[in-house]
Structure 1
Amino acid sequence: EREADCKKHDKPKGGRRPKPISDIPADNKQYNFTDPESKIMKVNNKGWDQCANAQAAVDSHKQIIVACDVTDETNDKRQFEPMLEKAQENVGKDKRIKAASADTGYYSESNIEYA
């Protein structure tokens, strides 16, 4: 863009070349004053965004949410166990959760063993 502008106005390039833009924001640019519990996370379009990660556990037969949470963890793998525990606590110890399903974002060997 700079070269095209110089050619357009028939001027030589002046000054230093601009530094390339980093894909990763600097540590001191990652604080959100309105939502300090969120953080900058990599998103699926290969960019970055200020986010939080919402979790929900649903009773598939009754179609109601039995547990939910919002976390600043970027990966769901560490959320499977706590969500299953919250769901069990909310439905009651007398109604044991017999089966759980989750998408591939929750997949890990330890989660398979836990379930």
Structure 2
Amino acid sequence: MSQSRKRVAKRDLNHAKDYLQRRLRDYALSLAPEHSIDEARLEFERIIWGFDSKDRSLLFHSWCEKYLIAIEWEKLEEAVCDGKRQVRRFREFRTALLSQAT
């Protein structure tokens, strides 16, 4: 099912990749009926491990358009947002002023 209006931004590729790898590994991804999860996983792994970063981004998006149904696009978007939130929380830091007691 083509979802051309949706895109995974290049900066979000790692979050999306991690989410989809987990879902494919656990056979938890709902795909269009004409595709099998094993076929999707093989093609996904070839894309993730076999191309330079410029090609990977384009091929990753093509893979998503080919295999993901609408509900999976929504779950992917949520997972990317969650991943970005976790990174922001991790990068937050607190400063404290320490002074020597006299």
For this structure pair, what is the TM-score category when the shorter chain's length is used for normalisation?
under 0.3
Give 1 or 2: higher strand fraction. 1
Give 1 or 2: higher helix fraction. 2
Q: From the CA coordinates, give the structure whose radius of gyration is larger.
A: 1
TM superposition score normalised by structure 1:
0.24
